[in-house]
Structure 1
Amino acid sequence: MASFTTFAQRPSINDMRLSIFALDGVFDTGLTALLDTFATANELAALQGFDAAPVEVNLVGVRRRVRTALGFSAMVKPLSAVRQPDWVVVPALNAKLPEPLIAALGRRDVREAIEHLRGWHGEGIGIAAACTGTFVLAEAGLLDHGHATTTWSLAPAFRQRYPAVDLDDSRMVVASQRVVTAGAAMGHLDLALWLLRQASPELATLVARFLLIDKRASQAHYIVPDYLAHADPLIARFDRWARDNLARGFSLQDAAQALSVGPRTLQRRTEAVLGKSPLAFFQDLRIERAQHLVSAGCDLETIASEVGYADSATLRTLLRRKLGRGVREMRADMR
């Protein structure tokens, strides 16, 4: 077979063994995103002239067969039937709300999986998860006193259940102490590419180009502040007050007085639920409102006034710092 050199020279690749740990009710897209990304990597490696697949992927589990969230059945290998992996990857469970997710964590198969994950971690094997799969790692205690990310929509529930974890839900992928976590649903792609980079940065880049996977360092662009606010009654009231007062600007004292709580109470609650200060949340709402007005075609001076800034220059700086792009790029994206 001729080597495939149109896009890149033959890359240097370190062989990698991956075990994807599938549980009943696994999120179909998450599982297939991982499998398809690694399969594409092996196909492209073959076109580059490699005789053997550089990424050995095994679908494993605590049962002989798992049923996905959409009802498909998949055969899995018993843990004793595969060689010791370099990495174990936990795809998401298909639970989009806290209550069903917490219930799923108490299932017998999940508890068995947690024991295996602890054992692998103790042996120095890398552990990775995306989206709600990160809850399984946190439940196992593997994220305690380390840094992590998770699906942004369940970040308040994560913080309340796992206070020992330093959570930054704005990030897409976080590596900490040989444990890697990735963000919401399509974060499975980002996680797969991160793992591929450990084998070959060149191959990971080639796969990303073939599958049209954009580089996304942050989930911040996708977070919906209103959704997070409804995780807590006080924060929901603060959200309503903040939206009514965007043009006036932020005052912690005024906000606390309007909500009939002390400033320290409001500060502590927003930190516990949202992982950020009241001012930072207020800034998120400003950004959200500004984006909406940009999409409506408003001029920047009008937008600045609407969200409480005296001049458009300050708003331009804030938008670029928070979103990584300016107003011109934002308008171009909306065409």
Structure 2
Amino acid sequence: MQRIGFIVLTGFQMMSVAVLSVFEFANKEMGQAVYDLHLLSETGGSVRNSIGVSVATEPFDDTNFDTLIIGGSAVAGSLTPGVIDFLRHALGRSRRVAATCVGAFVLAEAGLLDGRRATTHWNRARELQARFPKVNVEEDRIFIVDGQVWTSAGMTAGIDLALAMIEQDLGADVARSVARKLVVYHRRAGGQSQFSALLELEPKSDRIQSALTYAKRNIDKPLAVGQLAEAAHLSPRQFSRAFRAETGQSPAKAIENLRVEAARLMMEQSRHPIDVIARQTGFADPDRMRRAFLRAFGQPPQAIRRNARAEVVA
């Protein structure tokens, strides 16, 4: 049986503990207790979370854990020297040490991320890099595995991280079945982008949303403003004005972002040649797609594919 310890800090967010449900469902899937789950804190006892609900925890001791996971907290003073010291010795006593969301700051404070690749919530990634320059922060990743150390993006990405752990331990079929029971996608690859072009646009009207839906369905075709305006039942002039007012982007920029997102997914999840991906996502030629990738990610398509394959190997 593998012992899983989740360290909570005062003011932790309840969603971060959702990763334990993934291991719980793995136990149900296997019909036996493969994982022994524990909530931990430095002194044990009751720990209050960000919405005022308290949970019972066990204190740190000499018990060894196969996997240690920590979430973060926004409460000042919640991270104590005792927690840092406990984590500094964790790599010598645990097979895996992980952090969800801003828990990466805790691992970085303990020195566990020095010289390693890591990720965290996109809104805090640059802060993590600035505070801990020895860490190679990759802000646009769902989760990253670097040796014994695992880190994930925002809290729901911890579910993807836990599914990957189960896949490593028990195989892809078990992880897939657990994902189905949790009604979550099986599974977002670690190298997948944290961002969604459609979510970032957030149009306010059904008309602009209809145009974007039309664009996504026809991403492989040339998409002129006139076509999008027709899908929105507006004149081209009205459409361009309304689109920028609602999304803060021009139609041309938004379409490029949708094409980049579609192309990136194909780069990560398929073996299609780059010229085929460029054609199927409406870029027409690889050079045009390459320039769009450099604008969006600062990397060419080939680098995105290499990173995705490296995640799979890890």
Instruction: State the TM-score, normalized to the length of structure 2.
Output: 0.64
Q: Flag structure 1 segments of 5+ consecutive residues without an equivalent.
A: 1-14, 228-283, 285-290, 329-335
Cα distance between partner residues in 2 of 1:120 and 1:75 = 22
Contact 1:152 1:219 in 2 (8 A): no
Cα distance between partner residues in 2 of 1:162 and 1:45 = 40
1:16 aligns with 2:9: no
Cα distance between partner residues in 2 of 1:164 and 1:302 = 46
Per the TM alignment, residue 318 of structure 1 is displaced from its structure 2 partner at its CA by 3.5
Which of 31, 40, 44 pairs up with 2:29? 44
Per the TM alignment, residue 135 of structure 1 is displaced from its structure 2 partner at its CA by 0.9
Which of 224, 227, 249 pairs up with 1:302? 224
1:79 aligns with 2:51: no
**1:94-243 alignment runs, 5 A limit:** 95=74, 104=76, 107=77, 109-123=79-93, 125-201=95-171, 202-214=173-185, 215-217=187-189, 218=191, 220=193, 222=195
> Aligned pair in 2 of structure 1 residues 87, 322: CA closer, same or farther (>3 Å)?
same
Cα distance between partner residues in 1 of 2:176 and 2:166 = 9
Q: What amino acid does structure 2 have at the position aligned with 1:295?
A: L
Cα distance between partner residues in 2 of 1:41 and 1:117 = 26
What secondary structure sits across from 2:65 in the alignment? coil
Per the TM alignment, residue 189 of structure 1 is displaced from its structure 2 partner at its CA by 0.6
Per the TM alignment, residue 190 of structure 1 is displaced from its structure 2 partner at its CA by 1.0
Contact 2:263 2:281 in 1 (8 A): no
Cα distance between partner residues in 2 of 1:296 and 1:125 = 45
> Aligned pair in 2 of structure 1 residues 66, 166: CA closer, same or farther (>3 Å)?
same
> Aligned pair in 2 of structure 1 residues 39, 165: CA closer, same or farther (>3 Å)?
same
Q: What amino acid does structure 2 have at the position aligned with 1:86?
A: D
Per the TM alignment, residue 319 of structure 1 is displaced from its structure 2 partner at its CA by 4.3
Q: Deviations over 1:71-123 (max 9, x none)?
A: 1111111222x741111110232x3xxxx6xxx3xx26433211100011234
Contact 1:135 1:158 in 2 (8 A): yes
Q: State percent identity of aligned pairs.
A: 27
What secondary structure sits across from 2:264 in the alignment? helix
1:65 aligns with 2:49: no
What secondary structure sits across from 2:6 in the alignment? strand
Cα distance between partner residues in 1 of 2:58 and 2:94 = 22
- In the alignment, which residue of structure 1 is the partner of 2:264? 322
Cα distance between partner residues in 2 of 1:115 and 1:292 = 51
Cα distance between partner residues in 2 of 1:315 and 1:66 = 43
Cα distance between partner residues in 2 of 1:77 and 1:316 = 47
Per the TM alignment, residue 195 of structure 1 is displaced from its structure 2 partner at its CA by 1.9
> Aligned pair in 2 of structure 1 residues 177, 19: CA closer, same or farther (>3 Å)?
same
What secondary structure sits across from 1:153 in the alignment? coil
Q: What amino acid does structure 2 have at the position aligned with 1:90?
A: I
- In the alignment, which residue of structure 1 is the partner of 2:285? none
Cα distance between partner residues in 2 of 1:30 and 1:308 = 35
Contact 2:192 2:265 in 1 (8 A): no
What secondary structure sits across from 2:105 in the alignment? helix
Cα distance between partner residues in 2 of 1:29 and 1:108 = 18
Per the TM alignment, residue 297 of structure 1 is displaced from its structure 2 partner at its CA by 4.2
> Aligned pair in 2 of structure 1 residues 157, 306: CA closer, same or farther (>3 Å)?
same
- In the alignment, which residue of structure 2 is the partner of 1:91? 71
Q: What amino acid does structure 2 have at the position aligned with 1:24?
A: T
Per the TM alignment, residue 221 of structure 1 is displaced from its structure 2 partner at its CA by 5.0
Contact 1:221 1:323 in 2 (8 A): no
> Aligned pair in 2 of structure 1 residues 216, 132: CA closer, same or farther (>3 Å)?
same
Give the aligned CA root-mean-square deviation in angstroms: 3.4
Q: Deviations over 1:51-77 (max 9, x none)?
A: xx0111111111322111111111111
Cα distance between partner residues in 1 of 2:196 and 2:80 = 28
Instruction: Count how many residue pairs are aligned between Structure 1 and Structure 2.
Output: 232
